[in-house]
């Protein structure tokens, strides 16, 4: 009788590949979809494209965005271009291969703080103060919506339809760029700090200044609030397989399941391990891996199976403020205090 040998259980392994230091804090941070390149923009107006393998800069620029801060960066879905926004109120598009500036467009009079690409890579949206503007890949204006109740705090595209949403004090909005107006409002009496859609597009979630999360179920009048958190909620991460939604409250991470009857009346799973405030959450590999970084300089990877146990941990010498990783999470980059930037290789075998 021949028996099948049991397969060894796969485990995560994290290796720090490099660390580099900039003259100022890295605020604009992005990783290419294939994990090969990193884009980093500083509050002093420096912008670099680095190799993820070794952290070496292949293109370097100074004085971008008028020598002011680079506030956000994001690779195009195909990885061939990088968009940045900054304190000068402009959106810039860079060629990822040559590092050359393709074009620059004005978003508004205030700082341009948020940006996002449409899933098909045809449009780029950016916010400046109370304005959200959309451009095509040539830099031509597609439309603009002004007059939000306050500074726009978050913007995103719907995963499956050409709908665009913004968040600010007073709620979330679906925008109609062709008409230049707000098409639908999702009101909330408070300040929304971050917002994101579920992977299936059926739920819109916000993290709020008052220590709550609020969710709206698209196509219905139903909404739901998760309150009682000790501090503001400014980081959210959706994952498939439910879907599930993670948020951080100080050092504690909670995960809500929206599958079945949904989270109403249920309790979230709690993930502990950080000693300082968690600043960023990334859900990767189809919602099976949750990456988090914190004030104490730790990066954690929690595995969904079994029970969100520890997959990997590393510790650096400065607080970590932002992190990025491609969908497969095989490369991870994080920005910390003192202008430090760290790169890791993650292995699942």
- pLDDT tens for residues 169-223? 999 999 999 999 999 999 999 999 999 999 999 999 999 999 999 999 988 889 9
Task: Provide mean pLDDT across the span 217-244.
Answer: 93
Task: Provide mean pLDDT across the span 162-170.
Answer: 95
Q: What percent of the chain has pLDDT over 70?
A: 98
What pLDDT does residue 291 have? 98
Tell me which of 89-98, 160-169, 206-215, 273-282 is least confident: 160-169
What does the block give as tokens for 273?
A: 């391990």
Domains in the chain, CATH or no CATH each: 235-349 (2.130.10.10)
Cβ-Cβ contacts under 8 Å for 329 (sequence gap 6 or more): 282, 284, 285, 289, 291, 301, 346
**First CA to last CA across the chain, in angstroms?**
29
Burial of 307 (0-12, 13-18, 19+ CB in 10 A): exposed
Instruction: Please answer whether residues 247 and 234 qualify as being in contact, where contact means their C-beta atoms are separated by less than 8 angstroms.
Output: no
Instruction: Place 10 in a pLDDT band, splitting at 50, 70 and 90.
Output: confident
User: Does the pLDDT of residue 7 top 80, yes or no?
Assistant: no
The mean pLDDT value of the chain amounts to 95
CA nearest neighbour of 60 among 72, 51, 75, 47:
47
User: Does the pLDDT of residue 5 top 60, yes or no?
Assistant: no
What pLDDT does residue 224 have? 95
Instruction: Place 317 in a pLDDT band, splitting at 50, 70 and 90.
Output: very high
Q: What percent of the chain has pLDDT over 90?
A: 90
Tell me which of 235-239, 307-311, 314-318, 326-330 is least confident: 307-311
Instruction: Place 349 in a pLDDT band, splitting at 50, 70 and 90.
Output: confident
Task: Provide mean pLDDT across the span 77-99.
Answer: 98
User: Does the pLDDT of residue 264 top 90, yes or no?
Assistant: no
What pLDDT does residue 6 have? 60
Instruction: Place 45 in a pLDDT band, splitting at 50, 70 and 90.
Output: very high
**Beta strand residue intervals within 100-242, DSSP E:** 101-106, 112-117, 123-128, 131-136, 141-145, 154-157, 164-176, 181-197, 203-208, 213-217, 223-226, 236-239
What pLDDT does residue 87 have? 98
What pLDDT does residue 266 have? 87
| Calpha distance 330→320 (Å, rounded) | 19
How many CA atoms lie within 13 Å of 330's alpha carbon, on the beta-carbon side? Answer: 12
10 DSSP 8-state letter: P
Task: Provide mean pLDDT across the span 281-299.
Answer: 97
Tell me which of 120-124, 149-153, 218-222, 330-334 is least confident: 218-222
| Calpha distance 4→16 (Å, rounded) | 36
Instruction: Place 4 in a pLDDT band, splitting at 50, 70 and 90.
Output: low
What pLDDT does residue 341 have? 98
Task: Provide mean pLDDT across the span 152-170.
Answer: 94
User: Does the pLDDT of residue 3 top 80, yes or no?
Assistant: no
| Calpha distance 273→264 (Å, rounded) | 26
Task: Provide mean pLDDT across the span 88-93.
Answer: 98
């Amino acid at each position: 009788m021949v028996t099948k040998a049991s397969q060894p259980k796969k485990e995560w392994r994290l290796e720090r590949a490099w660390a580099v230091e900039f003259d100022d804090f890295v605020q604009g941070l992005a990783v290419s979809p294939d994990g090969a390149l990193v884009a980093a923009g500083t509050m002093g107006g420096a912008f670099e494209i680095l190799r993820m393998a070794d952290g070496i800069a292949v293109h370097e620029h100074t004085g971008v965005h008028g020598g002011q801060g680079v506030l956000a960066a994001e690779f195009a879905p195909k990885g061939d271009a990088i968009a940045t926004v900054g304190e000068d109120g402009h959106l810039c598009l860079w060629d990822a291969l040559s590092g050359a500036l393709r074009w620059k467009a004005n978003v508004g009079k205030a700082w341009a703080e948020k940006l996002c690409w449409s899933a098909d890579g045809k449009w780029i949206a950016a916010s400046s103060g109370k304005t959200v503007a959309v451009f095509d890949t040539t830099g031509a204006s597609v439309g603009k919506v002004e007059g939000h109740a306050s500074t726009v705090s978050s913007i995103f595209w719907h995963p499956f339809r050409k709908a665009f949403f913004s968040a600010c004090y007073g709620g979330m909005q679906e925008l109609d760029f062709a008409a230049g107006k707000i098409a639908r409002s999702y009101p909330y009496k408070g300040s929304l700090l971050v917002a994101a859609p579920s992977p299936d597009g059926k739920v819109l979630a916000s993290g709020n200044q008052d220590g709550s999360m609020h969710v709206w179920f698209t196509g219905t009048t139903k909404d739901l609030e998760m309150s009682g958190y000790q501090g503001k909620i400014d980081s959210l991460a959706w994952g498939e397989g439910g879907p599930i939604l993670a948020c951080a409250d100080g050092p504690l991470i909670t995960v809500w399941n929206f599958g079945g009857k949904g989270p109403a009346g249920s309790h979230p799973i709690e993930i502990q391990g950080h000693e300082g405030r968690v600043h960023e959450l990334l859900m990767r590999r189809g919602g099976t891996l949750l990456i988090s970084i914190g004030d104490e300089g730790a990066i954690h990877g929690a595995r969904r199976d079994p029970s969100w146990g520890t997959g990997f941990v590393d510790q650096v010498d400065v607080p970590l403020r932002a992190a990025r990783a491609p969908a497969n999470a095989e490369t991870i980059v994080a920005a910390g205090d003192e202008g430090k930037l760290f790169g890791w290789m993650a292995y699942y075998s």
